[in-house]
Amino acid sequence: MRAARHAAPATLPIGSDADLAWVRQQVRQAAAELGFGLVQQTKLVTAASELARNTLVHGGGGQVRITPLDTGQSQGLRLDFVDSGPGIRDLEQAMTDGYTSGGGLGLGLSGAKRLVHEFEVDSRPGEGTTVTVTAWATPVSPSRPGPP
Amino acid sequence: MTGAAGIGPAGGHFTVPVLQLGDVLLVTLQGELHDGMAEQLQQDITDRISHTRVTGVVIDISGVEIVDSFLGRVLAEIAAGAGLLAARTVLAGMRPAVAITLVELGLTLPGLRTALDVERAMELLGAASRPGEGSP
Ligand SMILES: Nc1ncnc2c1ncn2[C@@H]1O[C@H](COP(=O)(O)OP(=O)(O)OP(=O)(O)O)[C@@H](O)[C@H]1O
Ligand SMILES: [Mg+2]
């Protein structure tokens, strides 16, 4: 049976603790509607929570765009976290497990990357940061993430 | 009487039930926990331990759908704070999907004892409450 309708892309603000909770709920709902299994939902929501908090704490707030994807073969969800904060000067350092410029654990970026299938950071110092992640309900064989 | 109450940023009220069962504080986390709420809880639990002289804390997370690095850090800090007040902390009832996700996230919560459910967590505290026993 084919899903009768697909949720349209949605943009949610990230400006407070309450917004983080709302983003988590909306990402979970969208993933569940696309047929993500429970573990895959949990991974994606956890990644979204990390990235949304970075948008809030390090980026000074911003927004997330939630886009359902359908290749005909598989269903996915793309999340774009966008802020116009200070940007990340040294991306390699920021992506290192345990690196934090504040009091965090430094696991948000590197951990989120491990929880999704596709991960991309576009950051310009002084202009802002966009982190884009994609997860698939049923991974497409050619683009399946191999071992690093 | 038994709740650590918090007020959410959106004006909503949330209550984290905290029950004292003999020597143990039982804290039940459920659903969405806002960041500010988690920090408030940390303070409330520490206060409760110092006032009640409990020797153990069980945090039931069977109702928690995700643990991210923020909540993980709060839980680890609650355990560390309790430890300084001579109380042991056991995390009970983590969902399998949460456990799998935490490993991939890289958050292994070292130093936090875990149990499959509250009953086993209580047993663990009872069995391990001999004085003078150090950390594993
Ligand atoms: N949106 C952003 N804007 C600016 N800097 C960022 C952004 N996201 C991450 N960073 C930088 O990258 C570093 C690493 O981020 P990461 O999420 O891995 O760790 P953290 O947020 O410091 O701690 P944790 O997420 O474990 O609580 C941050 O400390 C911060 O300096
Ligand atoms: Mg972070």
Q: How many domains does chain B have?
A: 1
Provide the pLDDT for residue B34.
85
**B66 belongs to a structural domain:** yes
Interface of A with B in 58-117 (CB under 8 A): 97, 104-105, 107-108, 110-112, 114-115
Residue A39: list chain B partners with CB under 8 A.
96-97, 100-101
What is the pLDDT of chain B when averaged over all its residues? Answer: 84
Please report whether residue A116 resides in a domain: yes
When pLDDT is averaged across residues A73-99 and rounded to a whole number, the result is: 95
pLDDT digits (tens, 9 = 90+) for B99-111: 999 999 999 887 7
Q: Residues of chain B with pLDDT > 70: what percent? A: 82
Q: How confident is the model at residue A1 (pLDDT cuts 50, 70, 90)?
A: very low
- Asked if residue A17 is part of any domain, the answer here is yes
Note whether residue B136 is domain-resident: no
- Per-residue pLDDT reduced to its tens digit, A81-91: 999 999 999 99
Cβ-Cβ contacts under 8 Å for A52 (sequence gap 6 or more): A14, A19, A20, A23, A24, A64, A81
In a domain, A112, yes or no: yes
Please check whether residue A59 lies inside any domain of the structure.
yes
What does the pLDDT read at residue A105? Answer: 87
Q: Which has more confidence, B136 or B29?
A: B29
| Structure tokens that stand for A80 in this block | 């774009």
Can you give the pLDDT at residue B8?
37
Evaluate if residue B113 carries a pLDDT over 70.
yes
Residue A1 domain-assigned?
Answer: no
Q: How confident is the model at residue B37 (pLDDT cuts 50, 70, 90)?
A: confident
A75-83 β-sheet, strand order: A10-14, A62-70, A75-83, A128-136, A118-124
B106/A114 CB distance under 8 A: yes
Instruction: Looking at the CA of residue A83, tell me the nearest atom of ligand 1.
Output: 1
Residue range(s) defining the domain that contains residue B29: 18-127
> Is B10 a member of any domain?
no
Q: Measured in angstroms, how far is the CA atom of residue A111 from the centroid of ligand 1?
A: 11
Q: Is residue B68 part of a domain?
A: yes
- Tell me what ipTM this predicted complex has: 0.86
Please provide the average confidence, as pLDDT, over all residues in chain A.
90
CB pairs under 8 A between A and B: 79
Residues 31-60 in B contacting A (C-alpha not used; CB under 8 Å) = 32, 34-37
Does residue B41 belong to any structural domain of this protein? yes
Whether the predicted pLDDT of B1 surpasses 50: no
- The lowest-confidence range among A52-61, A77-86, A137-146, B28-37 is A137-146
CATH of the domain at B31: 3.30.750.24
DSSP state at residue B67:
-
Contacts of B37 in chain A (CB under 8 A): 17
The H-or-E segment that residue B6 falls in is: strand B3-7
The CATH code of the domain that includes A53 is: 3.30.565.10
Mean pLDDT of A63-71: 96
Q: In this structure, is residue A142 part of a structural domain?
A: no
Sheet holding B13-21, edge to edge: B3-7, B13-21, B24-30, B56-63, B88-92, B113-115
Evaluate if residue B134 carries a pLDDT over 70: no
Query: Is residue B108 lining ligand 1, measured as CB closer than 6 Å?
Result: no
* Per-residue pLDDT reduced to its tens digit, A125-140: 999 999 999 999 975 5
Query: Is there a domain that residue A143 lies in?
Result: no
CB of A50 closer than 6 angstroms to any ligand 1 atom: yes
Taking the CA of residue A85 as reference, the ligand 1 atom at the shortest distance is 3
Say what the pLDDT of residue A145 is.
Answer: 53
pLDDT at B131: 46
Q: What is the pLDDT of residues B56-90, one digit of tens each?
A: 999 999 999 999 999 999 999 999 999 999 999 99
In this structure, is residue A56 part of a structural domain?
A: yes
Subunit contact A25:B10, Cβ cutoff 8 A: no
Compare all CA atoms of chain B with the CA of A113 and give the residue at the minimum distance. B105
Number of domains in chain A: 1
Cβ burial A87-97 (10 Å sphere, 16+ → b, else e): bbeeeeebeee
CB of A24 within 8 Å of any CB in chain B? yes
A123: confidence class by pLDDT, cuts 50, 70, 90: very high
